[in-house]
Amino acid sequence: MKYLIAANWKMHKTVAETLEYLEIFLPSVKDLFAVDIMIAPPFTALASASIKLDAAKKEGEYNVFLGAQNMFYAEKGAYTGEISPLMLNELNVDYVIVGHSERRQIFGEKDNLINNKVFSAIEHGIRPILCVGETLEEREQGITLKVVENQIRKGLAGLGADIQFVDIAYEPVWAIGTGKNATPEQAEEVHRFIRSLINELSKGNDDKTRILYGGSVKPENARDLIKQPNINGFLVGSASLDPKKFYQIITEVLEV
């Protein structure tokens, strides 16, 4: 299983800043195929990033994929402000982040909507990264695994064998953008549980589903986290905004 190191820029970087970032970052990962790398810029920069990546791949060997931070499940319609899978297809988007805690917490996205997005992404050849995780209050109540199980069962409901086309990102909500992070042991406990749950939902596909950790990942903690047997990569937030820091995280993974 090839690990995935994914960058989620959230609401950061203009088109110009995106192109500047790629100018710095891409040369450092040329001919690097030991891991998959994904970058998810904001929607306004997707087209420019797509053109830049396509041009780079014509000149050299790159294993960098383009991701979107969200999408709606319908192909078209009266959905003001939304982005359809067809629009992402046109830009050669490979991945889409679905159900991020900020979408759940701030924008009120529910599991049935997230499930529809997962189905639509797979149908249109885009690999979804389904985000799950508990709040600080839920962890203190001791219901972390119950919360994660509920989100996964509802988010993947009805997929069957197509679960093999989904990656999972465990992101403890209390560790996102706070500087805090789960210990490697805490993360591994949840990742191990998720793997067993995937095997239950679609037997044999647990080794095809990468389970990423997302929660204040940075160069300083990447090595200890990636050593855990059920952590198959990262969904990196703020640290991915700096191309040098993001590359350092990738380097830590490669060295382990």
CA angle, residues 97, 213, 38, in degrees to nearest 5: 45
Residue pair 114/155 in contact by the 8 Å Cβ criterion = yes
H/E run at residue 97: strand 95-98
3-class SS of residue 193: helix
Catalytic-residue membership of 100 = yes
Q: How crowded is residue 256: how many other Cβ atoms within 10 Å of its Cβ?
A: 12
Catalytic-residue membership of 171 = yes
3-class SS of residue 232: coil
* Token code pair at residue 142: 């001791």
Cα 30 from Cα 32, distance rounded (Å): 5
Q: Which of 102, 109, 134, 171 is catalytic?
A: 171
Pairing of the two strands 127-132 and 95-98: parallel
**Left, alpha or beta for 159 (phi > 0: left; psi -120 to 50: alpha)?**
alpha
* Token code pair at residue 254: 């490669």
Q: Which residues belong to the active site?
A: 100, 171
